[in-house]
Structure 1
Amino acid sequence: MPIVLAQVAMSPPAVVAPAPPRPSIITNPDWFMKPTGDELMALYPKEAQANRVEGRAVIQCGVSARGLLMDCAVIREDPAGAGFGDAALRMSALFRMRPQTKDGVPVSSGVVNIPIRFSLPPPAPPAGLPPPPPGSLDSRTVQMMKKPGPVDYSRLFPLEGARRGIEGHVILQCVISDQHRLETCSVLEETPAATGFGAAALKLSKLFETSDKALDGTASTGRPIRIGIRFNLPHPG
């Protein structure tokens, strides 16, 4: 009986297209146009500004041959959901980089990561504060020999303020003791009010120590002193 050999057609191996090369990261961008402070404030998220919330965002953008940013995306926002990412994307149109060149011709050149920090100016001194007592000192007229450090501020930062992403400012009125410590302190102003910053500032006041003389050479002991204490939210590096 004859044997018939079947022929099996073998398909050629599939050709897998190579993955496109990953764009290079520009680590030292040469900017010749960046947003001004006024432009940053114009794009500051309104609700965050009203609540005195500061934040930051990092956007990643491609760079055209003309040095314009394109195809931007938010890769980090802190605090999340506060609008800083969207504000940073709108701000991308205000950047312009000196383009890289090849054989003297400008070329598009990879992607760039741009960190943008949104900071608010210190709150204006509240109106209606009583005038300082006669002979009163402040942080500009007497040297502080000891002050609270970042760990102290972090430890005493009000939980409500941290939960809401709110920063605060407090003005205290105190007296300099014989040991050059602050005593009999009271809260003159707390911003925002009723968020725990006043109580935290009173605890921090125990960690200050002044020099024995004011900057004009007069004794500091027993004199009233008015100090401002600002509570800033920590930002990731």
Structure 2
Amino acid sequence: MIRTLTFASLAAAVGAPAAAQVVWTVAPTAADMAAAYPEKARAEGIGGGVDLICTARRNGGMTDCDVMGEEPRGYGFGAAARRLAARMQAVGVVKDAEVRFSITFAPALAKGGTYVARTPRWAALPSVADMQAAAPKTEGGPNDARVTLVCEVKAGGVLDGCAVDREEPAGQGFGPAILALAPKFKVELMSAEGMPTVGARVRVPVRFDLKPVEQAAK
């Protein structure tokens, strides 16, 4: 029986590509955040968050940044966030426009090691045709399969060094299928919670929802 893959399962698993949010073309990496981490907070293992409002330059750079909110106070997160913001650059912003965004300092960043960006925003996903071509063509195979990759994020939000972390059911070829599509996934440079993705790891959960053609057409 011929089966088809519904794309909704992929979008639901990883989330649709980012929309109506600031898209950064230059943003801090995990190493940049580690270097900028306030020393007092680093020593005490404290994390924090800062809400900023900046003015956009003609080239999308940020200037005249003010701290609108800082938690907790007294650790230097606001000043550190302003220094980082001065090196950030966005696309699609108008000169002199106000740009509001957040930067989150997690204790894992202070250590300078690899951490998992838990809320990545997806800049690119495989197409329906990509998924259809990748799905294993086995007669009477499973109609539902789940795969999770763990990948490193390199410059530009490109995924690299991916490995299959979960494959259900195992041994049916779904893990290798998604692994082959890893180059088609791409993340934004900052996560939804305001943390850098470059230098971090991300989890890529994908669900194959395979149905007979006549059922999928309804």
Of structures 1 and 2, the one scoring higher in RCO (CA 8 A, sep 6+) is 2
Q: TM above 0.5, one fold?
A: no
TM-score by length of 1: 0.41
> Which has more radius of gyration?
1
TM-score by length of 2: 0.44
More helix by share: 2
